[in-house]
Amino acid sequence: MTSLGSQIANRKTNNLNIIRLLLALAVIVSHSFPVALGSGGDTRAEPLYAWTHQQESSGAMAVDLFFFISGLLITASWLRSRSMQDYLMKRVLRIYPGYMIAMVFSAVLVWVICPEFRAIAVVHPVEWLLLFAQNLLYLSSSSISFQGIFAGNPFPSMANSSLWTIPIEFYCYLAVLVVGLFCLFKRRFLIFLAFLAGYQVYTLGLFAGTSEIEELLICFLSGVITWLWRDKIPFSNMIAGSCLMALLITSQFRPWFSILFPVLGGYCTLWLAYGPRLQLSRWAEKTDLSYGTYLYAFPMQQLFAMNPALRHPWVIFGLATPVTLLAAWLSWNLVEKRFLAMKNNVRRDFDPGAGVEAAASTLNPPPAPRAGP
C-alpha cells in the first residue's frame, strides 16, 4: 500500500490552497450567524453546529483544519530550512505583513464609520495608539475589540473577530523552532508520546468543557505527527472513506465527533489534498487567497450588518464573500506575494563560534601534507 510520504513525494501539485480557501469561506459562513443575529441570537441554526448537536461549528472545524495543515507544513518547513534564521524569516514574512495591513485597515475602518468608538478613542489618543502599536508587534487585536466599535450592530465592540487565532499560530511556529533546535524531531517516537499525552488531556477536557485553544494546539500537533510519520501512514481511499463514515456517525453523539476530528478529519483533508486532482489546483498554487479571506471577512460582514434590512446570515454571507475575495486578491498581489518573494534571499547563518574558528585557523594554519615516499 502506498504511504502518505510516497504520495506527497510523487505529486507535483496538490489541492491544499483550494482546501484552505474553502476553509476560510466556511469561517465566513459561521461568523455570519452571530454577526447577523448577535451572540444571544439563534446561532444554533449554523449548519454544522446544528448537525453535530453543538459539537463543532463550520468556523471551528475550519480553524482546526487550518492548524492541522499548518502543523504539517511548518514541520516540513523547519526540516527543509537552511538555518534557524531562514526558517524564522519565512514564518515572519508569511504572517506579519498581511496581518499588519489588515490591522491598519480594520483600525481606519472603525475610526471612520464608528463615531461612538471615535468619541471614546479621542479622549485618550496616546494610550490607544500605544495599544495599537503593541498589537501590531505582538499580533494581538485588543485595540480593534473595543467599546464603541459597531455599537449599533448585533455583535458590537468587535472589528475583526478572526484575528485572535493569529498569535496562537505564530507561537506554534516558535514551538517548532524550539523543538528543532533541541534536535527532538530526530526522536519522533518521543514526540508521538507527547502527542498521546496531550490528546488524552484534550479528550478528558472535552467532557469537562475544554477551551478552543487546547483544541487548536492538539490539531497543530496532529499535523506535526502526521509529517514525522508520513512514511508509516498508509494512503488509502478505503481508510479515507472509513474516517469520513466514522465522523458522520459520531456527529450525532457528543462529544465523540470533537474527540476524533483532529485525527480523522486531518486524514480526510490530506486525502483530498493529495488524492483527486482538482481543476483549480494550478491556479490556486499561484494565487493563495485563503489568508487574506480570513483576515478581511469579519470587518466586511460587520459593514453589511450595519443595515438592519440585511441582517440575515445568508444575506450577510452572500454580500460579504465577493467583497472579501476582492480584498484577499489585493492582499495577495500587493502585500503577501511581494514579501514572500523575499524568503528566497540568501541569509547568513549566525554561528557565534565561526569567527573564533576562522581566526584560529589563520594564526595556526594546518601543516602542509608531507610528500609521499
Residue 8 is predicted with a pLDDT of: 92
Q: Mind listing the pLDDT tens digit for each residue in 30-42?
A: 999 999 998 766 6
Unique residue bearing C-alpha cell 506535526: 224
Domain spans of the chain, in order of start = 4-342
pLDDT at 365 over 70: no
Residue 236 is predicted with a pLDDT of: 93
Give 123 or 199, the one with higher predicted confidence.
199
Amino acid code (one letter) for 111: W
Q: How much is the average pLDDT of 187-206?
A: 92
Q: Mind listing the pLDDT tens digit for each residue in 82-136?
A: 899 999 999 999 999 999 999 999 989 988 999 988 888 777 777 778 888 888 8
pLDDT at 251 over 90: yes
What mean pLDDT is reported for the chain?
A: 87
pLDDT at 43 over 80: no
Amino acid code (one letter) for 217: L
Q: Mind listing the pLDDT tens digit for each residue in 58-73?
A: 999 999 999 999 999 9
Residue 279 is predicted with a pLDDT of: 65
Residue 361 is predicted with a pLDDT of: 39
| Cα 286 from Cα 244, distance rounded (Å) | 30
Unique residue bearing C-alpha cell 505564530: 170
Instruction: Please calculate the CA angle 131-290-344 and round it to the nearest 5 degrees.
Output: 85
pLDDT at 308 over 90: yes
The band of 202, judged by pLDDT with boundaries at 50, 70 and 90, is: very high
- Residue 56 CA from chain centroid, whole number: 17
Residue 332 is predicted with a pLDDT of: 95
| Cα 271 from Cα 261, distance rounded (Å) | 14
Q: How much is the average pLDDT of 240-266?
A: 95
| Cα 76 from Cα 228, distance rounded (Å) | 9
Amino acid code (one letter) for 133: A
- Residue 58 CA from chain centroid, whole number: 15
Q: Mind listing the pLDDT tens digit for each residue in 342-363?
A: 877 755 554 444 444 344 434 4
The band of 213, judged by pLDDT with boundaries at 50, 70 and 90, is: confident
Torsion of CA 269, 328, 102, 310, to 10 degrees: -100
How much is the pTM? 0.89
pLDDT at 148 over 60: yes
Q: Mind listing the pLDDT tens digit for each residue in 309-325?
A: 999 999 999 999 999 99
Residue 358 is predicted with a pLDDT of: 43
Enclosing H/E stretch for 210: none
| Cα 32 from Cα 311, distance rounded (Å) | 9
How large a percentage of the chain has pLDDT more than 90? 65
| Cα 290 from Cα 69, distance rounded (Å) | 13
The b-or-e profile of 152-179 (16+ CB within 10 A means b, else e) is ebbbbebbbbbbbbbbbbbebbebbbeb
Neighbours of 151 (CB within 10 A): 13
Phi-psi region for residue 265, left (φ > 0), alpha (ψ -120 to 50) or beta? alpha
pLDDT at 137 over 50: yes
Residue 373 is predicted with a pLDDT of: 33
Instruction: Please calculate the CA angle 113-119-121 and round it to the nearest 5 degrees.
Output: 95
pLDDT at 156 over 60: yes
- Kindly state the DSSP code that residue 12 receives in the 8-state scheme: S
pLDDT at 364 over 50: no
pLDDT at 164 over 70: yes
Residue 205 is predicted with a pLDDT of: 87
Residue 42 is predicted with a pLDDT of: 63
| Cα 31 from Cα 13, distance rounded (Å) | 31
Residue 224 is predicted with a pLDDT of: 97
| Cα 258 from Cα 210, distance rounded (Å) | 11
The answer to whether 65 touches 23, Cβ cutoff 8 Å, is yes
